[in-house]
C-alpha cells in the first residue's frame, strides 16, 4: 500500500509536444532515474513502461495518455505521457486538463513542429506553468543556439536555457546548470554562457519586484535568492525554463527530475483553476481551495475499458480527500456511485491506495457511469468543475459489419471506445440508416477500427457516409393509381387519385397550416387536414361522395407517409409538400387497407414525379482558423467548393478566421485539404445551416447513381 503524500509534495506534469519528439522515452528515463523501475524501458524494443498498448507497439507511436508516477527527492511526481500526433489531440488535452505543469518536448533534430506550437498554446490558454525540454541532443548536426532562438521567436523571450550540455552529438555526457551566478563553467560549452545566464536570471527576478530592483541596482543576486523565486516565476510565466536532454542516452534526465521536484508547481497553485467554484451555504460560502481539509471535489479526465483490469476512470483530485469504500455523487446526473478500489497506476500496473489528496491522480476501478469531464464529490451541492474543451470531430465514416449479425457488438464496442476518447462521436443516422463514426482524421479512425477488432473481435468495412440529401417538389402535380390483383381466392382492389402541392417552409404547426394553406377557400369540400412538422407535410382529405370509404382513408394517408421516408427521386427523405386525396374507387369484397396503402404509394410516386421534383442538400456554416499567411490560399480554394465567404476577422497572434457557408458534400473531407494548404496549422468548426436546392447537374448525377442502385437491388 503506497504512502499518502502531502499536497505541497505532489507535482503533476504532462509531457506534450509533437510526434516522436521523445516524450515517452523521456518518461521511461524519468522513471528509471527516480528508481521507480529497475530497467530503462525503450519504445524501440517494446519495453517501454508507458507505451504498453498493443496498437502502440505495432505502430511505434503513442495513442493514449499514459499515467505514471515516481518519487524523487521527497516529492511525488505524477507524469502523464501524452501522444504527440495531432490525430490523438483528445488524449493530449485530457493530460493538460489534469496538471499544473506542461513540459513541452522539442526534438533537437526537427525543432519546433506543428503540434509543439499547438500544445504550447493549449497549455498557455489553460494557465499552466510551462517548461521546455530540448531532447535528442545526442544526435548529429544539432545547432543549440539556433534552436533556442527559434523557441524564443515562437514562444517568447521568457523561454530561457536552464542548463546546457557539455557538447551536442553522440559525445554528449552531461548537462551544466546555469543558475549559480558564481559558478565557473567550462569555456567549451556550445552556447554563450554569460548571455544565457543573464537571460535566466532576468526571467527569474522579473516575478519579484524587490529582487528585480536589487538586481538592477546592484547588478547581481545570490543563488539562494534565485532559488527562492523560481517557482513563483514559473507560476507567473516570466520564466519558461528550457532543459537540455537526451532521453535515449539518459543524459540531463536526472537534472530535469531534480528541477521539477524542487521548483515545479505543487497542486496548491491550482487555486487559479478553482477560481469561481464556491462551497458552503450562502452566508458562509467560500472559494474552493486545493487543500485536504476542503470539501472533496475531483474531475474525471480519462476513461479506459481494459480487457484485463476492466473499467478504469482516472480522476484528478482538486480539493479534499477521496477515500476508498465511500459513495460519491456524479454531479452531471446526481447518480450516487460506490467507490470500491482506488488505484495508483504505473503504465499497465496498478497498486491499491486507500485515499487520495489534492493533486493526486488515481483510477477508480470497476465503476461504470463516469464520463470524461464529470465532477465527483461527496455532496450533490459541491461545485461542478468546468468541462475541458475538446474539438468537435468532423471526419466521418459509415460503418458496416463484415459479418452479418455483428451490428449489436459493433455498436456496443464503438460506444465504449467513444467513451474513452472525447474526440470520437458515434451516431446512428436515422435518415440514411447508417452507423456513422466521427473522429479527428483518417488515422484516428483507423486506430479505432483496429481496436474494435482487437478488443471486441468485430471486423468492419467503412465507407464514406451518405450525405443526408432531401427531396421536395417545386410545382403542383397529380397522380392516380389503380391497384388490382386477382390471384385465386380473394382479389385486391383500390384506386387512389392524388394532387400534390409545395408547402411553404414557413408553416410550423397544424393551426398555421389550416389558416394559410389547407382551408375551404382552396379546398371547397375539405373534410380534414393532418399536419406533420417532422416532414413539413400535410395530408388533406377532400373526398366527395364516399368514392373512398372513410375506413380506408387512414390507409391512404399511411401509404403516402411511407413514401416520405423512402423518397421517390433518389431514396432521400421528402419534405415541404401537401397531398390531397380527392377521388378513388373501391370494391365491396376485394378492397382492403393493404390494397389502399399500395395504391396510395404508387399514386404518390406518380404525383411527386409530375411536380418538378428537386433534391435539397445540407449547407454547413464553416469557421476556419488559419495563420494569416495562409488566408489567400484558403480564400482562393473555397469557391471551388461552391462555398460562399461571408466574413473574415483578424485575431491576435497573426491568425485569421474566415466565415463561410458551403454544401456539406463539398467539405465532408475538408480536414485533410485544409491541413494540406496550411501545413497542418489550420482548423475549422462546422455546423448545419439549412437546406438548399442542389444544382441541376449535381442532381442528375445523384439521381442516376440512385437508379443504378435500385436496379441492382431488384
Collapse the DSSP code of 73 into the 3-class scheme (helix H, G, I; strand E, B; otherwise coil) and give the result. Answer: coil
**CA distances, 320 to each of 10, 358, 636 (Å):** 14, 6, 55
The alpha carbon of residue 49 and the mean position of all alpha carbons in its chain are separated, in whole angstroms, by 26
In angstroms, the CA 171 to CA 167 distance is 7
Q: Which three cell numbers stand for residue 206?
A: 522579473
Is 20 one of the binding residues for ligand GTP (CB under 6 A)? yes
Nearest distance in Å: CB 378, ligand GTP:
37
Output the smallest distance, CB 79 to Mg ion, in A.
12
Is 43 an interacting residue with respect to ligand GTP (CB under 6 A)? yes
Distance of CA 158 to the CA centre of its chain: 31
**86 near ligand GTP, judged by CB under 6 A:** no
Residue 24 binds ligand GTP (CB under 6 A): yes
- Give the whole-angstrom CA distance, residue 232 versus residue 219: 21
DSSP state, residue 114: H
Nearest residue by C-beta to ligand GTP?
84
The DSSP bridge partners found for residue 685 are 623
Decide if residue 83 touches ligand GTP (CB under 6 A).
yes
By C-beta, is 43 or 151 nearer to Mg ion? 43
Question: Quick one: cell of 289?
Answer: 481551495
Q: What is the dihedral of CA 637, 642, 647, 648, to 10 degrees?
A: -20
Q: Which three cell numbers stand for residue 589?
A: 369484397
Q: Which is nearer to ligand GTP, 27 or 345 (CB)?
A: 27
Smaller CB distance to Mg ion: residue 28 or 295? 28
Q: State yes or no: residue 116 binds Mg ion (CB under 5 A).
A: no
> Which residue is associated with the grid cell 521511461?
28
For residue 65, state whether it binds Mg ion (rule: CB under 5 A): no
Question: Shortest distance, CB of residue 274 to Mg ion, whole angstroms?
Answer: 30
Tally Cβ neighbours within 10 Å of residue 317: 26
What whole-number distance in Å separates Cα of residue 540 and Cα of residue 120? Answer: 62
79 touches ligand GTP (CB under 6 A): no
Minimum distance between the CB of residue 536 and ligand GTP, rounded to whole angstroms?
Answer: 50
Of the residues 48, 62, 289, 592, which one makes contact with Mg ion according to CB under 5 A: 62
- Our finding on whether 44 is near ligand GTP (CB under 6 A) is yes
d(CA 643, CA 635): 10
With H, G, I as helix, E, B as strand and everything else as coil, classify residue 59: helix
Is residue 416 close enough to count as binding ligand GTP by CB under 6 A? no
**Segment contacting ligand GTP by CB under 6 A, of 131-139, 203-211, 460-468, 514-522:** 131-139
Name the helix (H) or strand (E) containing 218.
Answer: helix 209-218
Per CB under 6 A, 665 contacts ligand GTP: no
Among 61, 469, 572, 670, binds ligand GTP (CB under 6 A): 61
Place of cell 417538389: 473
Q: Whose Cβ is closer to ligand GTP: residue 17's or residue 373's?
A: 17
Nearer to Mg ion, 88 or 269 (CB): 88
- 539 lies in the binding site for ligand GTP (CB under 6 A): no
> Could you give the CA distance from residue 10 to residue 265 in angstroms, rounded to a whole number?
8
Q: Which of 14, 62, 267, 363 forms a contact with ligand GTP (CB under 6 A)?
A: 62
Q: How far is the CB of 416 from ligand GTP (least distance, A)?
A: 23
Task: Mark out the alpha helices in 73-208 (DSSP H runs).
Answer: 89-96, 114-125, 144-155, 193-205
Identify the sign of the CA torsion 126, 132, 135, 140.
Answer: positive
Q: Residue 43 CB, nearest distance to ligand GTP (Å)?
A: 4
451 in contact with Mg ion (CB under 5 A):
no
Find how far residue 670's CA is from the centre of its chain: 17
Least CB distance to ligand GTP at residue 90 (A): 14
Q: Are 143 and 134 in contact (CB under 8 A)?
A: no
Give CA separation, 83 vs 16, 230, 247, 269, 412, in Å: 7, 28, 16, 25, 26
Q: 319 has which bridge partners?
A: 297
Q: Is 139 in the site for ligand GTP (CB under 6 A)?
A: yes
> Out of 80, 93, 242, 247, which residue is the one contacting ligand GTP (CB under 6 A)?
247
Q: CB of 34 within 8 A of CB of 99?
A: no
Based on the shown chain and the rule CB under 6 A, indicate whether residue 22 belongs to the binding site for ligand GTP: yes
Residue with grid cell 470520437, as numbered in its chain: 424
CB of 394 to ligand GTP, least distance (A): 22
> In the complex with Mg ion, which residue's Cβ is closer, 62 or 238?
62
Number of residues that bind ligand GTP (CB under 6 A): 21
The yes or no reply on residue 25 touching ligand GTP (CB under 6 A) is yes
Per CB under 6 A, the segment of 133-141, 445-453, 543-551, 642-650 that binds ligand GTP is 133-141
Order the strands of the 10-17 sheet from edge to edge: 66-72, 75-81, 10-17, 101-107, 129-135, 240-244, 159-161
Using the minimum distance from each CB to Mg ion, give the nearer residue, 301 or 630: 301
Binding partner at 206 among ligand GTP, Mg ion, none, C-beta below 5 to 8 Å by kind: none
Verify binding: residue 66, Mg ion, rule CB under 5 A: no
Partner interacting with residue 65 (select from ligand GTP, Mg ion, none; CB below 5-8 Å by kind): none
**Could you say which of 135, 168, 266, 575 contacts ligand GTP (CB under 6 A)?**
135
- Contact pattern from residue 555 through residue 594 relative to ligand GTP, giving x for each residue in contact according to CB under 6 A and a dash for the rest: ----------------------------------------
Q: Which stretch binds ligand GTP (CB under 6 A): 246-254, 293-301, 323-331, 569-577?
A: 246-254
Nearer to ligand GTP, 43 or 196 (CB): 43
**Distance from C-alpha of 513 to C-alpha of 530, rounded to nearest angstrom:** 9
Distance CA 240, CA 227 (A): 15
The angle subtended at Cα 65 by Cα 64 and Cα 70, nearest 5°, is: 140
The C-alpha cell at 623 is: 469557421
Q: Which of 150, 71, 137 is nearest to 109 (CA)?
A: 137
Q: Does 21 bind ligand GTP (CB under 6 A)?
A: yes
Site string for Mg ion, 8-37 (x = CB under 5 A): ---------------xx-------------
Applying CB under 5 A, the span of 60-68, 468-476, 518-526, 706-714 interacting with Mg ion comes to 60-68
The residues, ordered by sequence, that sit 6+ positions from 430 with a Cβ below 8 Å of its Cβ are: none
DSSP code per residue over 617-634: EEEEEEEEEEEGGGHHHH
Q: Does 261 bind ligand GTP (CB under 6 A)?
A: no
Q: Which residues pair with 481 in a beta bridge?
A: 496
Q: Is 136 in the site for ligand GTP (CB under 6 A)?
A: yes
Question: Which of ligand GTP, Mg ion, none does 19 bind, CB closer than 5 to 8 A by kind?
Answer: ligand GTP
Q: Rule CB under 6 A: which residues touch ligand GTP?
A: 19-25, 43-44, 61-62, 83-85, 135-136, 138-139, 246-248
Binding site residues, Mg ion, CB under 5 A? 23-24, 62
Amino acid at each position: 500500500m503506497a504512502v499518502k503524500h502531502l499536497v505541497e509534495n505532489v507535482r503533476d506534469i504532462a509531457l506534450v509536444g509533437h510526434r516522436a519528439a521523445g516524450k515517452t522515452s523521456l518518461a521511461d528515463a524519468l522513471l528509471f532515474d527516480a528508481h521507480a523501475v529497475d530497467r530503462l524501458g525503450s519504445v524501440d524494443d517494446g519495453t517501454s513502461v508507458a507505451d504498453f498498448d498493443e496498437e502502440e507497439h505495432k505502430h511505434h507511436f503513442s495513442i493514449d495518455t499514459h499515467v505514471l508516477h515516481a518519487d524523487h527527492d521527497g516529492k511525488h511526481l505524477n507524469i502523464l505521457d501524452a501522444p504527440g500526433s495531432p490525430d490523438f489531440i483528445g488524449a493530449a488535452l485530457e493530460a493538460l486538463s489534469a496538471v499544473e505543469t506542461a513540459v513541452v518536448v522539442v526534438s533537437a533534430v526537427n525543432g519546433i513542429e506543428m503540434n509543439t506550437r499547438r500544445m504550447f498554446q493549449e497549455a498557455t490558454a489553460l494557465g499552466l506553468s510551462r517548461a521546455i525540454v530540448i531532447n535528442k541532443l545526442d544526435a548529429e548536426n544539432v545547432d543549440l543556439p539556433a534552436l533556442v532562438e527559434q523557441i524564443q521567436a515562437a514562444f517568447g523571450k521568457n523561454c530561457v536555457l536552464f542548463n546546457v550540455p557539455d557538447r551536442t552529438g553522440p559525445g554528449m555526457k552531461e548537462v551544466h546548470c546555469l543558475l549559480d551566478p558564481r559558478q565557473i563553467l567550462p569555456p567549451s560549452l556550445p552556447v554563450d554562457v554569460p548571455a544565457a545566464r543573464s537571460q535566466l536570471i532576468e526571467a527569474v527576478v522579473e516575478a519579484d519586484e524587490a529582487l528585480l530592483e536589487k538586481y538592477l541596482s546592484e547588478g547581481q543576486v545570490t543563488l539562494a535568492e534565485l532559488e527562492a523565486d523560481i517557482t513563483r516565476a514559473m507560476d507567473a510565466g516570466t520564466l519558461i525554463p528550457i532543459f537540455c536532454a537526451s532521453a535515449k542516452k539518459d543524459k540531463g534526465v536526472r537534472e530535469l527530475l531534480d528541477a521539477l521536484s524542487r521548483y515545479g508547481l505543487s497542486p496548491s497553485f491550482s487555486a487559479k483553476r478553482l477560481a469561481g467554484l464556491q462551497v458552503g451555504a450562502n452566508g458562509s460560502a467560500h472559494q474552493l481551495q486545493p487543500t485536504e481539509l476542503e470539501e472533496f471535489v475531483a474531475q474525471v479526465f480519462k476513461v479506459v475499458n481494459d480487457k484485463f483490469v476492466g473499467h478504469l476512470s482516472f480522476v484528478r483530485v482538486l480539493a479534499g480527500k477521496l477515500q476508498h469504500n465511500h459513495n460519491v455523487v456524479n454531479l452531471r446526473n446526481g447518480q450516487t456511485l460506490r467507490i470500491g478500489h482506488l488505484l495508483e497506476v504505473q503504465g499497465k500496473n496498478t497498486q491499491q491506495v486507500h485515499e487520495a489528496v489534492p493533486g493526486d491522480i488515481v483510477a477508480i476501478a470497476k465503476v461504470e457511469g463516469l464520463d470524461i469531464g464529470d465532477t465527483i464529490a461527496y455532496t450533490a451541492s459541491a461545485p461542478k468543475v468546468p468541462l475541458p474543451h475538446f474539438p468537435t470531430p468532423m471526419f466521418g465514416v459509415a460503418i458496416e459489419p463484415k459479418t452479418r449479425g455483428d451490428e449489436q457488438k459493433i455498436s456496443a464496442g464503438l460506444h465504449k471506445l467513444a467513451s474513452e476518447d472525447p474526440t470520437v462521436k458515434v451516431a446512428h443516422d436515422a435518415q440514411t440508416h447508417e452507423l456513422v463514426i466521427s473522429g479527428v482524421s483518417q488515422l484516428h479512425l483507423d486506430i479505432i477500427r483496429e481496436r474494435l477488432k482487437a478488443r471486441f473481435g468485430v471486423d468492419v468495412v467503412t465507407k464514406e457516409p451518405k450525405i443526408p440529401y432531401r427531396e421536395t417538389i417545386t410545382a403542383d402535380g397529380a397522380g392516380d393509381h389503380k391497384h388490382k390483383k386477382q390471384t385465386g381466392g380473394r382479389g385486391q382492389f383500390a384506386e387512389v387519385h392524388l394532387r400534390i402541392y409545395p408547402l411553404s417552409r414557413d408553416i410550423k404547426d397544424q393551426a398555421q397550416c389550416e389558416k394559410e394553406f389547407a382551408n375551404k377557400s382552396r379546398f371547397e369540400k375539405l373534410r380534414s387536414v393532418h399536419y406533420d412538422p417532422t416532414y413539413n407535410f400535410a395530408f388533406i382529405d377532400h373526398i366527395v361522395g364516399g368514392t373512398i370509404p372513410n375506413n380506408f382513408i387512414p390507409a391512404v394517408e399511411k401509404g403516402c407517409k411511407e413514401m416520405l421516408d423512402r423518397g421517390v427521386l433518389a431514396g432521400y427523405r421528402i419534405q415541404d409538400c401537401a397531398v390531397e386525396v380527392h377521388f378513388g374507387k373501391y370494391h365491396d369484397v376485394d378492397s382492403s387497407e393493404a390494397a389502399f396503402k399500395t395504391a396510395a404509394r404508387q399514386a404518390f410516386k406518380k404525383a411527386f414525379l409530375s411536380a418538378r421534383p428537386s433534391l435539397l442538400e445540407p449547407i454547413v456554416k464553416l469557421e476556419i482558423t488559419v495563420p494569416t499567411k495562409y488566408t489567400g490560399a484558403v480564400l482562393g480554394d473555397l469557391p471551388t467548393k461552391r462555398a460562399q465567404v461571408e466574413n473574415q476577422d483578424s485575431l491576435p497572434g497573426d491568425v485569421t478566421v474566415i466565415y463561410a457557408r458551403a454544401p456539406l458534400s463539398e467539405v465532408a473531407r475538408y480536414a485533410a485539404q485544409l491541413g494540406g494548404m496550411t501545413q497542418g496549422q489550420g482548423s475549422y468548426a462546422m455546423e448545419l445551416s439549412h437546406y438548399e436546392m442542389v444544382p441541376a447537374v449535381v442532381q442528375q448525377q445523384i439521381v442516376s447513381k440512385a437508379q443504378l442502385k435500385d436496379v441492382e437491388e431488384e
